């Protein structure tokens, strides 16, 4: 991997939940008013797409108004992809997935699964472009982001299936693809979560980018 390292794609920017952010804000999980504010700050710069890889699959019973704030921020952006994860076990009632709460799912531009495939030695070298019930699989998170950013490229399934899968649908995987790693951690342009919240990033840090 070191031998094939290449310059990072300039159209990608990462916002990291890093140690400095946790030191300032406090332990995870954070109130959902914070990602709502983050989305507003990023959306003002008109990114191509925002992939928020945090699973909000339960309502916030302590601060229910925060769920509404976050759903509103997601809807106003119109370019947010949220994650889906498989529940434990090959079978499960419904579609077998942990997904965002209903208000967030409806507000999101798309959902995408966030799994990668570890080999027997524990190293991740590949992913599956589609996972979920055979009748209605989700794209990988990265592919869902591409479909929001550049739908004209084609190959994008409906953002929402009109006919949900039957109860007990088996989870399947298809379209295995090797990951073309560009470099190690920190290779892509990365901003601290707390800096984005405070607006302490360049005025065009996210403009026209995959965030």
Exposure string over 24-39, b if 16+ CB within 10 A, otherwise e: eeeeeebbbbbbbbbb
Residue 167 has pLDDT above 70, yes or no: no
pTM of the model: 0.92
Q: How many CB atoms lie within 10 A of CB 78?
A: 13
Nearest one of 9, 3, 20 to 189, comparing CA atoms: 9
Q: Which neighbouring-strand residues pair with 12?
A: 210
Q: What is the DSSP string of 71-135?
A: HHHHHHHS-EEEEEEEPSSS--STTSEE---HHHHHHSSEEEE---EE-TTS-EEEEEEEEEETT
Return the top range by mean pLDDT from 31-45, 93-107, 147-161: 31-45
Tell me the pLDDT tens digit for each residue of 90-146.
555 567 889 999 999 999 999 999 999 999 999 999 999 999 988 889 999 999 999
Tell me the pLDDT tens digit for each residue of 52-63.
999 999 999 999
Per-residue pLDDT at 160: 73
């Amino acid at each position: 991997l070191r031998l094939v390292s290449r310059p990072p794609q300039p159209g990608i920017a990462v916002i990291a939940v890093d140690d400095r952010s946790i030191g300032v804000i406090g332990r995870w999980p954070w109130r959902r008013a914070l990602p709502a504010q983050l989305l507003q700050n990023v959306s003002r710069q008109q990114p191509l797409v925002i992939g928020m890889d945090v699973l909000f699959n339960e309502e916030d019973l302590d601060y229910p108004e925060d769920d509404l704030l976050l759903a509103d921020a997601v809807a106003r952006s119109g370019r947010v992809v949220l994650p889906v994860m498989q529940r434990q076990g090959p079978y499960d009632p419904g579609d077998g997935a942990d997904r965002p709460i209903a208000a967030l799912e409806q507000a999101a531009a798309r959902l995408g699964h966030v799994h990668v495939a570890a080999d027997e030695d524990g190293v991740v070298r590949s992913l599956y472009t589609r996972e979920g019930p055979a009748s209605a699989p989700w794209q990988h998170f990265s592919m869902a982001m591409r479909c929001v950013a550049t739908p004209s490229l084609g190959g994008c399934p409906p953002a929402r299936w009109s006919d949900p899968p039957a109860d007990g649908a088996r989870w399947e995987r298809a379209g295995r693809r090797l990951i073309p790693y560009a470099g190690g951690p920190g290779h892509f342009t990365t901003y601290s979560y707390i800096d984005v919240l405070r607006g302490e990033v360049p005025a065009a840090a996210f403009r026209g980018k995959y965030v």
